[in-house]
Structure 1
Amino acid sequence: RSKKRLLVTNEESGQVEEHLIPHGKHVLVQPGDFAQKGQLITEGAKDPHEILEILGPSAVQEYLIEEIQKVYRLQGVTINDKHLEVIISRMLFKIRITDTGDADFFWGDQVDRFAFMDANEEISEKGGKPAEGEPILLGITKASLETDSFISAASFQETTRVLTNAATLGKVDELKGFKENVIMGHLIPAGTGLPKWRRLKIDTLGTNPVESAASQ
């Protein structure tokens, strides 16, 4: 009764959608205006999940970075965007399967973005039908607990639940990430700590000049 009705017509399909505007909310558009996808029609904050659904990962990343930077700028703090980009990329690293195709996924599965791309590349090379999926935005806590490494997840939050679940399912941690390797006291998989460099064999060619001089 206290809400305004705002009708939005899609020119291509002719579909009309009705939006109820709460009393006191300022409307940012006028009758006859053309609105773009993702444009605000009332004052207020945007929903990051809707931005992701409508405009894609790049748009939601830009929006989150800008909103977070606003908070820090008000306090006079300068932060390089790259630090926020690392966190947000982790929040966007899962894909929800919408069509399994010829892949070994199940509908609705949330899989790692790189595993999804690798599986589709392998299927395409064999002439099969790739799987289809949509990116999802996870909160920081959820993203930290959704990692493939149960050691890394257990060190963050809900330690008992994570370890109990891993033991029940018989999970094996392959120690591919930095955090789990640090916890276990191993070299991190970066630089000379990468497996490909650690497996190198060095052969000595010729005679060591120091040893030759000593033998004489």
Structure 2
Amino acid sequence: MELAKHFIRTNIEPEWMVLCLLPVLPPELRPIIQIDGGKLMSSDINELYRRVIYRNNTLTDLLTTSRSTPGELVMCQEKLVQEAVDTLLDNGIRGQPMRDGHNKVYKSFSDVIEGKEGRFRETLLGKRVDYSGRSVIVVGPSLSLHRCGLPREIAIELFQTFVIRGLIRQDLASNIGVAKSKIREKEPVVWEILQEVMRGHPVLLNRAPTLHRLGIQAFQPILVEGRAICLHPLVCKGFNADF
């Protein structure tokens, strides 16, 4: 009764809870690829779709071509169609999961989208953003608490647009192409401009998992050699980091 009242209060129609149309993923999300020897390897989703189509076609034949089909047979086939749809959405929800000839469990919709390597976390939530870098950390005991050591390779990528602007403003490059060429050749003037830019642009350092506010902290970057980010040992506790 409470559920019915909630439907009335929120203007939710009960038929919205019934799946009438089965969504079909684009081919790019369920590819068929050719492996060594000319064999074709298909996505598990394709096999689960094929199973739904086959059982649905069988049900259609029973309803259209054979008018004298017993009702029990039609009901049984409807259950098989429902089982195929359930397996496509969540393999194993009915108990024993569907497996292939090698006893491997087929990956259903829920398997494709859940977890760290799922569609959402890997391709939607896990995208790298512009003007960011990733590296390991090493100890920098000579650094001030508010400073971090940024490798040249990362720094030039993070601040490349500012360096290009500096080269053009100082008439050291006539256009963006020439400026990028100077950056690729790592001319000494590039590092001088980069150091000037870094003085006015602090950076944010983050260590996953970010469980509290100290998981992301701002630092004043300075250029260091190598490919590792340098941190003062006393700021590691907030990141829960170690060396």
TM bucket, shorter chain = under 0.3
TM-score relative to the length of structure 2: 0.22
Structure number with greater CO (CA < 8 Å, separation at least 6) is 2
TM-score relative to the length of structure 1: 0.24
Instruction: Tell me which structure has the larger Cα radius of gyration.
Output: 2
Structure ranking higher in helix proportion = 2
